[in-house]
Structure 1
């Protein structure tokens, strides 16, 4: 029997023979094979969740960090690893309804579950020591964008510029800015259209800031929409293509979205920093689970697209390697790289599938049907795990998909079709471009307890109890700059027909208060035909009942034009509009 603990080899199960019996021969996958990416296909109940969790467990044991996107809550089970295999460890996470159905007390059910898990591991050559090894190899952290049940994550807290190599390449810069712009528009419910004025303007604003190495926060983005750093879109004047009135309406839509209670949590939390997701402060590998089960479809699309985009940026800053440097997993990929449409998530995902191999980044994508994925995406996949499928048509689509890519050369379609028809739960057909021929195997027992999809209260409980297998909660993160309010560092948004200016001479501690400027030119006609001209400028603070001119004060400025041209001080803040 082969050693299941060989470095760089992932133990995923045992080979089945021609008679359909599972043998004692362990199936070990070379970790480097996953740099050509993998797809796992199977209907509900096929066992694909257990197989993919097993792959991530093996990656952790081998010191490879993982980022996993979890649309349903199943992947969070990776945080439930219990080295002691005692009933007390399982007790908080059992299904008490299932216990009642079986006529057991919760304690009795926990004892039965602990025994089942211990026996299951032993049957596959595993034990509590291997569970401990997995648990000690990587921190398991569950991130919840826009929510505090897990570790809060703020995808839009700061729109950081790409690396210098990307900033100096116009094509790469436009690609990164385009994904960010499309993600923001997805939150607004706008269709992904690279020719829409809103998309073109956002790309221009982002590219202008990033080219200069400057980050943008949402407040700065909303301000730049009204006062863009450009005067033309293409060869046409900006005002002709996207007039100020329409830009103001667009800015107000974005501001209103971010001001809504549903997005309150999006303005605080950890930034979307791929390096921090992959490694802890001490350099320890992480399994970072991005839980999106609580988000609506628009929010999910924005998070996934931005995450893929940031992974692209991080990847391009790494030196090349033939080893597996990091694993990126997404469950239920349907809708994120469809055959026909081009949602915001698709371009960066296709970039990863085409380029990530050179940087040692492997993708594993799970779905119930190969028709959920663009055929060009499938053509870049070297490893196929195919489980039980519902219909002959689904099986034919899988075989078509395998044969459409490089991994399909030399496939015996008739033999593969026969094997697919006979698959049972937890039994998969493996087709690997690096292997000699397809084979059938049964997946091993997972080291993590499969408790089912985790709810937000369960994630919150897990975060509060790091001993259950989750990473310790990090220190509180300061909230990101709020773009929605009219206080703090966010400049108030006014209609474009109302000119805004600030008094010169401000500093980082200045607080700009809303005031009204009144200007008059006084002409004195003196006897003898000599006129005296005097310009007077008064400002009055704006209260709830309007400006109080009795308390106005005179200011000395060279001209109104010079006042309108003055810029606010860096680091200053803004008082609330009445």
Structure 2
């Protein structure tokens, strides 16, 4: 099996069971001809509802045994309904007093789906139908947000448009428009009205024109149906009938059947232009037909889904389309469409007796066997049963390789974003699902009974759900659901908690539904929260913190799953990192799912085995940022090493009581972040940090994007305000002992500098992991220059990786030589098919980039990073300012990428083992070089330094006015942070959440004066402080280009 095949097979993630969440995914693999009569009936029903707005269509029952494709058919129905201009929802079916609350929850939870955006479409269509002008329609879409006047106008227009319905849905319509808003606070108001038992506050009710604070769930359900029916047909799909029956445990079947029938009939009777569709096994519908007193069965037409495969052609198409969807995502071209299933396999007589699920399940088992054995074999007969392949034991050196990769990824993990309310719906979903995926693989043969939900909502009620099939015939399952809640606002917390309870289906007495709320903050002590928590616990729910150690493990596993490296499953079985995590050990292992394996490698033998510290006790959710002057105690009051004068440290300000704010030099190697806006004093603080460390003999490299730092060698014309008593003397010492050099890459008239575009492979050639890391960083810098279309980028990166590895093994070092290699690549160098042709295309683009971009080419007098850091005789430190005046933004990114690659190789050869910190790399406007979302040539190499440089004594300093735009791995790997005045609301919220994650509450960032900052370092809470003026001249305006060049020439 070559790397390309391994990556392709690893990408095959379709499950033999399509979970409810899969209904919301695009169905590119639908096969016509599987259930033709049912499809025709459904198309007719949707067409009738579309053409008759006041109709009450007969309900439909999709009846069939497990595995025939009921859930897949619902997915096709969703897609078809939306293509016809309609809406599709899946109300949560809860028997009893919460019936309507569950129905509303199911709809609200699907209003803002990632791909469908049904709420936005409905509002936009209503805006068009009611004659709203373009400006109002744009606001109704959510950006910019609506105001009260916009809302009143829209509600009045809809009321006039629907004057004959006599429905009073004004408040619900107001809530829906607010819920569609791009403003998070407005969304919270809309969601509170739609979902919260207590509704909205009186002040909110008055501000936005609501008639009432609260509306009963049944009335909201009616409103939702009426409003969506104004814009097209509506389908309400019920996929939980079997689940409710198997979960209920009731002995009174007649009562249960009557409750189910009553609920289904009520949904149909309360709606117009709406098709209620129930999917269940025959036994469940027979119970409702035979035992229910309600006449629901008369209002529903049963559609039978046949069990047998219609034909060999349908079976073949079914497998091919499932595989094609996965292969296309990674740009893989199989030898034939059904690979690795032989085309002749579909001719077996046994295929006619397979359900779609059984067919896909056997393909899944075959793919897993190929991966376990690391050998591609064709599936030649569907009727054969093959014993599961035992996971091969990995050689010791391969185990060590996985262990090393795991530890490296753990060290690089961002532990802040998963706990940040602004990003938890993205990052906690990703890390929890990856960790649970690994947990499933750790169970060995038990894996085929376990499935994970696929998450598709923008604001999911749950972040992960693990299902275990207990009985296939009755579709009986046990669930473990997870939801992280990082908010501090009590209403937001309660809304999410209640939604999670409804979605997870937890109720008192139900033993097969488990819900874990992940929260590292205390809950509010209010009466409503206390009552809700008691109900949550009575239903079997538990609230647990997640420690930093677990988050690092989950993040590392996420990256390892994506890489799909051979032997990963065997490593998981041996190490069991997911199952050993504190969160899963407390909630899943031993809870009835899988007992902890006694065969796993002893914890003491596992490099990642370490004590996990639960952080919940040390965080006060409602406490303000620490105004205590102490910087020698952590938040919980435990003693730590006091950063006083007995250890090397720098003073960067004083607290309100006049006490010095000092940072031990050793903590600077763990990196620093400075988040503040224009006029906050950010540049002054940044310069003072560089100056103070220079006085301690620490050299720095400064990336100057805005010409703010080129005065690092200028004296003040007179002592400025803000200097302390000793600052005049310290300034003299700085100029006497510090060599300041201004470099101007791309400008020959200044002090030009050039760097090698490729890493120094010779420095890392003896270490396979380090070589791979260097190659990965180089590939990340080269790929944007290849200009490959998106569909070819994965293959292009693979070819570059193999070619660069070969190039390094052969002792290559120059970009020009590497491009020559690419232009005539030998087929033996790469395992990717048609690699030489793809390599030649990339070589042409790289050659063109070298011609047009001298920085990328590395043209000019090349220097070593040592030249930037080594002071001349008689000086203690050098401050190298890299000015960007001669470069475009793209060229500056390219230069920083080259600098990062060179620095990493240099610091490895010249580590600062006997000093607290050896050097600093300062990135002003850091979001340019390591952005959160957009691609950047310098991103990968900067992240590599962020996670590795501290080992060799180099500290990074990130300064930015836009912390939200900075990559979370960068900000999440900083021990010291400073927050100054910020103006943009989105940036303020980002910083407030970062502070909250560290146990502090900060709410006055907009009110801070210039020179006022919040500061904290490892083990301390945030303290408000005033920073001193810098020792070097800081003017009100930046230098001109000519002034920068003049200073550069003087330092030659």
TM > 0.5 between the two? yes
CA gap 1:36/1:247 in 2 versus in 1, 3 angstroms: closer
1:254 paired residue among 822, 846, 852: 846
Deviation of 1:154 after TM superposition, in Å, equals 1.4
SS of corresponding position for 1:425: coil
2:924 paired residue among 328, 331, 340: 331
CA gap 1:219/1:360 in 2 versus in 1, 3 angstroms: closer
Paired residues for 1:419-438 under 5 Å: 420-435=1005-1020, 437-438=1021-1022
Paired residues for 1:154-169 under 5 Å: 154-156=754-756, 159=758, 161-164=760-763, 166-169=764-767
SS of corresponding position for 1:145: coil
Deviation of 1:325 after TM superposition, in Å, equals 1.1
1:306 aligns with 2:887: no
Residue pair 1:208, 1:229 contacting (<8 A) in 2 also = no
SS of corresponding position for 1:366: strand
Residue pair 2:856, 2:891 contacting (<8 A) in 1 also = no
Give the match for residue 269 of structure 1.
860
CA gap 1:403/1:306 in 2 versus in 1, 3 angstroms: farther
2:709 paired residue among 75, 79, 83: 75
SS of corresponding position for 1:14: strand
Separation in 2 of the partners of 1:397 and 1:228?
47
Deviates more, 1:380-389 or 1:306-315: 306-315
Residue pair 1:192, 1:344 contacting (<8 A) in 2 also = no
Residue pair 1:272, 1:310 contacting (<8 A) in 2 also = no
Deviation of 1:187 after TM superposition, in Å, equals 4.8
Separation in 2 of the partners of 1:352 and 1:255?
28
- The one-character-per-residue Cα deviations of 1:293-313 (angstroms, maximum 9, x if unpaired) are 432232122112222222222
CA gap 1:230/1:241 in 2 versus in 1, 3 angstroms: closer
CA gap 1:184/1:434 in 2 versus in 1, 3 angstroms: same
Deviation of 1:402 after TM superposition, in Å, equals 3.2
Give the match for residue 206 of structure 1.
804
CA gap 1:274/1:266 in 2 versus in 1, 3 angstroms: same
Separation in 1 of the partners of 2:776 and 2:791?
10
CA gap 1:316/1:16 in 2 versus in 1, 3 angstroms: same
Deviation of 1:71 after TM superposition, in Å, equals 1.1
Residue pair 1:168, 1:211 contacting (<8 A) in 2 also = no
Give the match for residue 502 of structure 1.
none
Separation in 1 of the partners of 2:907 and 2:920?
12
TM-score calculated relative to the size of structure 1:
0.64
1:455 aligns with 2:1040: yes
Deviation of 1:147 after TM superposition, in Å, equals 1.8
Deviation of 1:51 after TM superposition, in Å, equals 0.3
Residue pair 1:67, 1:288 contacting (<8 A) in 2 also = yes
Deviation of 1:45 after TM superposition, in Å, equals 0.7
1:442 aligns with 2:1043: no
SS of corresponding position for 1:75: coil
Separation in 2 of the partners of 1:193 and 1:331?
34
Paired residues for 1:46-445 under 5 Å: 46-80=680-714, 82=715, 114-115=717-718, 118-120=719-721, 123-156=723-756, 159=758, 161-164=760-763, 166-187=764-785, 195-216=793-814, 218-228=815-825, 231-234=828-831, 236-237=832-833, 240-243=834-837, 247-260=839-852, 263=854, 267-280=858-871, 282=873, 284-317=876-909, 318=911, 320=913, 323-404=916-997, 408=998, 411-413=999-1001, 416-418=1002-1004, 420-435=1005-1020, 437-445=1021-1029
Separation in 1 of the partners of 2:785 and 2:1048?
28
- Count of aligned residue pairs for this structure pair: 407
Give the match for residue 569 of structure 1.
none
Separation in 2 of the partners of 1:226 and 1:316?
32
CA gap 1:346/1:193 in 2 versus in 1, 3 angstroms: farther
Separation in 2 of the partners of 1:228 and 1:356?
34
CA gap 1:161/1:263 in 2 versus in 1, 3 angstroms: closer
Separation in 2 of the partners of 1:14 and 1:463?
35
- The one-character-per-residue Cα deviations of 1:154-203 (angstroms, maximum 9, x if unpaired) are 123x6453354x21333321321232233234456668999445444443
1:15 aligns with 2:655: yes
Q: CA RMSD in A?
A: 3.1
Residue pair 2:738, 2:879 contacting (<8 A) in 1 also = yes
**Structure with more helix by fraction:** 2
Q: Which runs of 5+ in 2 are unaligned?
A: 1-643
Residue pair 2:711, 2:1034 contacting (<8 A) in 1 also = yes
Residue pair 2:760, 2:813 contacting (<8 A) in 1 also = yes
CA gap 1:464/1:305 in 2 versus in 1, 3 angstroms: closer
Separation in 2 of the partners of 1:288 and 1:364?
14
Q: Which runs of 5+ in 1 are unaligned?
A: 18-22, 86-113, 466-471, 474-578
SS of corresponding position for 1:78: coil
SS of corresponding position for 2:981: coil
CA gap 1:316/1:347 in 2 versus in 1, 3 angstroms: same
- The one-character-per-residue Cα deviations of 1:105-159 (angstroms, maximum 9, x if unpaired) are xxxxxxxxx34xx1436x4224544222112222111222222243212123x64
**Structure with more strand by fraction:** 1
Residue pair 2:702, 2:879 contacting (<8 A) in 1 also = yes
Deviation of 1:208 after TM superposition, in Å, equals 2.3
SS of corresponding position for 1:219: helix
Residue pair 1:53, 1:75 contacting (<8 A) in 2 also = yes
CA gap 1:445/1:221 in 2 versus in 1, 3 angstroms: same
Residue pair 2:799, 2:835 contacting (<8 A) in 1 also = no
CA gap 1:294/1:249 in 2 versus in 1, 3 angstroms: same
Separation in 2 of the partners of 1:195 and 1:321?
44
SS of corresponding position for 1:417: coil
Residue pair 1:148, 1:265 contacting (<8 A) in 2 also = no
